[in-house]
Amino acid sequence: MTTTTARDTIMARRSVRAYEAKKLDKASIQRLLNYAVRAPTAMHQEPCVFVVIQNQSLLEEILNLAKPMFEKSLHAPGHTRVHTSHDFSDPNFSIFYGADTLIVILAKLTGSFVEADCWLAAENLMITATEMGLGSCVIGSALMALNTPEIKAKLTIPTDYSAVAPIIIGFPDGVTAATSRNEPMVLSWIV
Ligand SMILES: Cc1cc2nc3c(=O)[nH]c(=O)nc-3n(C[C@H](O)[C@H](O)[C@H](O)COP(=O)(O)O)c2cc1C
């Protein structure tokens, strides 16, 4: 019997950008959320809430708004040049890569650590997805669209909540190669 350790799962996680057209069941999503909320939160405030979107026409609506918004932001004056291999003006490019489920982690941004809390929950969720044989990818390019009043209204998100971490989840179509990492750069190690 082989045992998978947390370290194995961390190393196996990939940003998956190709998905099978297969619906993710409710129990699996509930499991992901149960592990997401096990992440630490500052002062044990537990500020994170979730929106799960499995409605394909709504996903398309978000996509159609997000693509031009994100593309425009890339060309905004003062924006640091970022490399993206995706053509956001291509009508065939989906920022959701065909995934059937988008999970958005949100919070009321009331304290300095709230966004950190959401991202820690996001990593727990993605590691759990990996362990379950599911693929995931953070979709930062959807964030601006998710925080527009029109999409918030459609998703019944109260105005005082903000989307922080949008993550697609689904069944991977094929194998995703690992990306490289720099060696950890230790600025100082004082003993
Ligand atoms: C905050 C954040 C935003 C991201 N936004 C996107 C995105 O919009 N689209 C995308 O394809 N990948 C996105 N990614 C995934 C990164 O591109 C990916 O993590 C990186 O290339 C390393 O690959 P790996 O996750 O497979 O190791 C995002 C990751 C983070 C942490």
Write the CB contacts of 180 (distance below 8 Å, at least 6 apart in sequence). none
| Distinct helix (H) and strand (E) counts, the chain | 6, 4
Phi and psi dihedrals of 187, rounded to 5?
Answer: -70, -40
What is the model's pTM?
0.96
**Ligand 1 lined by 137 (C-beta under 6 Å):** yes
**Ligand 1 lined by 138 (C-beta under 6 Å):** yes
Q: What is the CATH number of domain 18-170?
A: 3.40.109.10
**Ligand 1 lined by 11 (C-beta under 6 Å):** no
**C-alpha 17 – ligand 1 centre gap (Å):** 10
Per-residue pLDDT tens for 69-83?
999 998 888 776 565
At residue 88 the predicted structure's pLDDT band, cuts being 50, 70 and 90, is: confident
Write the CA distances from 140 to 5, 63, 93, 129, integer angstroms.
Answer: 29, 12, 15, 18
Per-residue pLDDT tens for 124-183?
999 999 999 999 999 999 999 999 999 999 999 999 999 999 999 999 999 999 999 999
At residue 87 the predicted structure's pLDDT band, cuts being 50, 70 and 90, is: confident
What are the residue ranges spanned by the domains of the chain? 18-170
Whether the Cβ atoms of residue 100 and residue 57 lie closer than 8 Å to each other: no
